[in-house]
Amino acid sequence: RRILVTGGTGLVGKAIEKVVADGEGRPDEEWIFVSSRDADLTSAAETKALFEQHKPTHVIHLAAMVGGLFKNIRYNLDFWRRNIHINDNVLHSAYETGVQKVVSCLSTCIFPDKTTYPIDETMIHNGPPHSSNFGYSYAKRMIDIQNRGYFEQHGCRFTAVIPTNVFGPHDNFNIEDGHVLPGLIHKVYLAKQNGSALTVWGTGKPRRQFIYSLDLARLFLWVLREYDEVEPIILSVGEEDEVSIREAAEAIVEAMDFRGELLFDTTKADGQFKKTASNAKLRRYLPGFQFTPFRQAVKETCAWFSTNYANARK
């Protein structure tokens, strides 16, 4: 098996690389991690050339234009166009070069904004996504449509996973454009350096299910090797493990031993209040899977960021 991982230097790609290197890889697997430096996946020609060069039998497709709430609000069209091009090029090159299986990465932000909770895999297309990131959300939803099309028309085994909020080492810790947890970690680091208060954007009330990148990586390997459905699968901690942004901030404060004041800037947008996802389907397949406890995962991520501050994306 030759496994090509697009977006291989990002948060999830680095986690898969580590998990494979730490003993989860198999002797019959050759892993190839590529990034935007190796090919511009918005170009059909460059994508095709990449596939012809590496001749993968399997693909984990992680590459995407991504960003947090505030970046999405500003660039919805860019998120739509770039991601649509990337996904179409990767899936079509995979089909044209005879790839046996593709596992793409979706996101829980693709789910309908007006919905009942918990959300499950059957509800993806039941209404428009939240208006704040409609470009990214619709582009990601279209992967599910394409997977269905490639299966029905060509018999391809293309599937997708839907992780909840991923965090861990090698994340983008940019305060303006990053996701909530890495942004908060960076903020606490700076507040501690400067002896200032920590200001969290929004009320701190929205709730999220956070999944540690190394747990997600282990689940990706299972999906690649064992999961045979074309229908997507949600990869998440349980509903009972949802935490508020305030609780997440407090976990980071504790992990980094921050002694200053914690403030909430309620003039800033909260985004969606919750997007609670059901992991019942995952649990049917893997009832015994052990997730890293949230506070332990936060501790490890904070330690990585502090150690690698100079080189971390920020």
Residues annotated as part of the active site: 136
CA nearest to 3, candidates 37, 29, 40:
29
Instruction: Write out the chain in H/E/C secondary structure.
Output: CEEEEECCCCHHHHHHHHHHHHHHCCCCCEEEECCCCCCCCCCHHHHHHHHHHHCCCEEEECCCCCCCHHHHHHCHHHHHHHHHHHHHHHHHHHHHCCCCEEEEECCHHHCECCCCCCECHHHCCCCCECHHHHHHHHHHHHHHHHHHHHHHHHCCEEEEEEECEEECCCCECCCCCCCHHHHHHHHHHHHHHHCCCEEEECCCCCEECEEEHHHHHHHHHHHHHHCCCCCCEEECCCHHHCEEHHHHHHHHHHHCCCCCCEEEECCCCCCCCCCCECCHHHHHHCCCCCCCCHHHHHHHHHHHHHHCCCCCEC
Q: Is the peptide bond before 129 cis (omega within 30 degrees of 0)?
A: no
Contact 108, 234 (CB under 8 A): yes
Is residue 226 classed exposed, middle or buried when 0-12, 13-18 and 19+ CB atoms within 10 A define those classes? exposed
In angstroms, the CA 83 to CA 140 distance is 7
In angstroms, the CA 181 to CA 202 distance is 13
